[in-house]
Structure 1
Amino acid sequence: MADRKPEISAAPATSLLRNHGGGHAPVSYLELFFDLVYAFAITQASHFLLMHPGWAGLLEGTLLFLAVWWAWVYTSWVANWANPDRVPVRLLLLMVMFASMVMAVAMPKAFETGAEDMGLVFALSYSGLQVLRTLFMVWAMGRDERAAGINMLRILAWFVASAGFWLAGALAEMSERRITLWAIALAIEYLGPSQGYRVPFLGRSDPSEWRISGGHMAERCALFVIIALGEGIIVTGSSFAQLSHEPLRAIAFLLAFIGSVLMWWIYFDRGAARGAEHIEHHAEPGRIARNAFTYLHMPIVAGIVITAVADAILLANPAGPTSLRLVLFQSIGLLVYVLGVGFFKSYSSDRGNFPVSHMAGLGVIAVTSLVACVRPPSALAFVALTVAALALIAMWEWVSFHGGWRERFRTAFDGG
């Protein structure tokens, strides 16, 4: 990670923006502090999925996660443009941090009805932070460059449009209606970047005009992957600590840890560095940041979160047969993760090919999951086979990226 020193900017003393002409924009300590709230939010999303079994709970948990990711990634864009060393920007990030904390607190009961309903609190905190943060950026960017201010005004218009659906859903008395309205709100927000935030009379934004620090965006997203992996380790460790430690459960605990290590390896061994290099040297870093980091990192983080839930389910009953719920969470979690990393790597590659290693791993996971639905093995055996699929991907890439299998093994074990 780059040294986090106050940014020396050639911008006017009154500017609130970073000077991207000066090279890499360092990740500030305030941004790392800000991420702590989202570590809590990710934990809340995992606990929501654990406490709400079934398809309805999975759908509701997915909507909550999508909102969490969108709030975090848009704030990362803001911190890429705005200078956290400026007091107004620092105060903005702290206010967004508090609103995010309120949002995370409301998550477990965001779909409840009656006296325990926290849907309005969730909707107000989420849509409020998105709208007010963007409104601040309209002012902060517009005072330096009119075109940049208009770009933020387009984004503001889309968030205002989605806010109506967030609030309407929060006021709905039926949870099904809330799900529908909030899904529409998220669809509007996720569609915005791909459509260039087209607004009547204001036109649309062109990603080629977004001046950002590609290295900063890559580092921020890599750090969030670490947060998600850390949350998974916390869920696994806390679940194991609260249960008896018989041999089969200890093996399940080991498998869960190995799975986390392999997910780290698959992303960080080559993918993260190559993605950072790609965006730093690309002629249009804004487009890469939108596609490879804003969109494609969402399934990567989601897969980690869902797999952590599967680990907790396994630890609860490692000796029993594979339940449909375990198959659902383990297979969806790993498939989404491997697909996300695979598309990220293909987008960051000059060839643009989806990695063959990831195709092989996806095939093993899919076949194992289908067989488990027809003839359920033990829960431990099922998870072991899916973790073996991750090991296949990691080993395949490890030996193929450096000149062949035999040469790679000789280099690794000779220390050369």
Structure 2
Amino acid sequence: MKKTTATSGAKSDPKWRLIRQDDAEAGKATFPELFFDLVFVFALIQLSHTLAENFGSTALVEAAILILALWWLWVHITWLTNLLNTEAGPVRLFLFFMMFTGVLLAIALPKAFEGHGLVFALIYSGMQLVRSLFALYVFKGVDHENSLTFSRMGLWLAFSSIFWLAGGMSSTLEWQLGFWAVAIGIEYAGPLVKYYFPGFKTGKNERLHLSGEHLAERCALFVIICLGETILTTGRTATDHMNSSLTFVVFCSAFASTVLMWWIYFHHGQEKVSEKAEGTAEPEKIAQNLFNYGHLPIVAGIILTAVGEDFSLSHSHEDSTLREALAIVGGPMLFLAGNIGVKIASSFVRPISHFVGIAVLAVLLFLPGMPLYILQIASASILLLVAVWEYVALRKHSPSVS
């Protein structure tokens, strides 16, 4: 797959070595990229802890904004590293800078709606704009089409940063939520309209020359990060509350939920996603449908599940309210819904097991007063049902599937 469209004489430009070349390893994630991803382990742990400790009346809206922001930041940086040679010194320095600022962002995250909103907004907007400026530096005079795209992308992010900063300076939570919701909406709408900006010219047949194989691997690794964060959060909470045999049972159930999520995503489904991404003639379109938007509910579902497992471990005997049920049951529902979209887009197969699983989970969501430990065990049991059902269905359809 062609990675760039070089302008005349561009290959003599020293910046050409900063661009990922078309070779056998072009679609593989590199060690600097994996090192960068470690920052998001910390950020996701911060997010899970924050939600578990302060799951108030506006918690779901706050959680949605923070999850959308973290995911979009990671996606934007991944899009850029997809095009760059991460073994080159300047690109590595760029990633290290993003790591440092990412840690600062994660530190500000727990108080993003309680006094540190402006700090969070400044760091987040700064990271997005620095990423765009670095892309312009790399592609200016080397790849005209990518340069035009990232120019317009930078303008969109500059516009959204106005709302991030306005929200950070707001005196009330309602205004902050409103401004930040607008900012997120602007950023997510950008790719849908190819970052159209009035008065800013668009190149003929302009598109980013992305590697679908690389994006598939990077998203799979991010899912692994989220699942790993769930195990870390569950283990930490279990350590603090391992004072009865019931806690051990709930811990086993929570651990099983994480393993079953791994199975549902990686057994057969992720393989099809990778094949679709690698073989497509429209990598940018596939990147949007399968990765930018398609993986979002999967990631959000895993994070919300981690919060639910925290509830079920720390308050096992308490009766559930809609608050706890939205995390314990809503997390797996989001996860399964995301898998439905990704699997249909990649293989055109409608996983009936996933639809049934969501339906049964939805019933649990509206059964008030159920003890949290029973709700957790029931949720894990439904995930087990989905995983076994899909495995058996795949075996019947294709005996070669193991």
Shift of 1:65: 1.5
Unaligned runs of 5+ in 2: 1-9
Give the one of 379, 383, 393 matched to 2:376. 383
Match of 2:140 in 1: 142
- For residues 169-190 of structure 1, the C-alpha deviation after alignment (integer angstroms, 9 at most, x for no partner) is 1111112111110111010001
Match of 2:394 in 1: 401
CA contact (8 A) 1:127 1:166 kept: yes
Cα distance in 2 for partners of 1:66, 1:103 equals 14
Cα distance in 2 for partners of 1:296, 1:121 equals 30
Question: What is the TM-score with the length of structure 2 in the denominator?
Answer: 0.92
Match of 2:60 in 1: 58
- For residues 254-305 of structure 1, the C-alpha deviation after alignment (integer angstroms, 9 at most, x for no partner) is 0000000100000000111110010100111111111111111111111000
Structure 1 window deviating more from structure 2 (263-272 vs 195-204): it is: 195-204
Question: What is the TM-score with the length of structure 1 in the denominator?
Answer: 0.89
CA contact (8 A) 2:231 2:258 kept: yes
Give the one of 167, 170, 173 matched to 1:172. 170
Unaligned runs of 5+ in 1: 1-9
Match for 1:364: what amino acid?
A: V
Match of 1:361 in 2: 357
Match for 1:132: what amino acid?
A: V
CA contact (8 A) 1:229 1:260 kept: yes
CA contact (8 A) 1:60 1:179 kept: yes
Give the one of 324, 333, 349 matched to 1:326. 324
Give the one of 199, 209, 220 matched to 1:211. 209
The 5 A counterparts of 1:1-400 are 14-15=15-16, 16-20=18-22, 24-112=26-114, 117-203=115-201, 209-349=207-347, 352-370=348-366, 372-373=367-368, 376-400=369-393
Greater RCO, 1 or 2 (C-alpha within 8 Å, sep 6+): 2
Shift of 1:96: 1.3
- For residues 40-81 of structure 1, the C-alpha deviation after alignment (integer angstroms, 9 at most, x for no partner) is 001111111112122312211221121111111111111101
Cα distance in 1 for partners of 2:388, 2:169 equals 51
- Seen in structure 2, the aligned counterparts of structure 1 residues 317 and 133 have a Cα distance that, compared at 3 Å, is same
Cα distance in 2 for partners of 1:340, 1:177 equals 30
Cα distance in 1 for partners of 2:242, 2:262 equals 28
CA contact (8 A) 2:20 2:26 kept: no
Same amino acid, percent of matched pairs: 38
Shift of 1:208: 7.7
Match for 1:31: what amino acid?
A: E
- For residues 202-232 of structure 1, the C-alpha deviation after alignment (integer angstroms, 9 at most, x for no partner) is 3558998321111111111100101101111
CA contact (8 A) 1:48 1:108 kept: yes
Cα distance in 1 for partners of 2:204, 2:249 equals 52
- Seen in structure 2, the aligned counterparts of structure 1 residues 396 and 223 have a Cα distance that, compared at 3 Å, is same
- For residues 9-52 of structure 1, the C-alpha deviation after alignment (integer angstroms, 9 at most, x for no partner) is x9655412111365633211111111111110011111111121
Cα distance in 2 for partners of 1:198, 1:87 equals 33
- For residues 73-124 of structure 1, the C-alpha deviation after alignment (integer angstroms, 9 at most, x for no partner) is 1111111011111111111111111111111100111111xxxx21111111
CA contact (8 A) 1:20 1:211 kept: no
CA contact (8 A) 2:41 2:229 kept: yes
CA contact (8 A) 2:28 2:217 kept: no
Cα distance in 2 for partners of 1:205, 1:232 equals 43
Shift of 1:201: 2.4
CA contact (8 A) 1:26 1:216 kept: yes
CA contact (8 A) 1:240 1:253 kept: yes
Cα distance in 1 for partners of 2:391, 2:24 equals 35
Q: Any idea what SS the aligned residue of 2:395 has?
A: coil
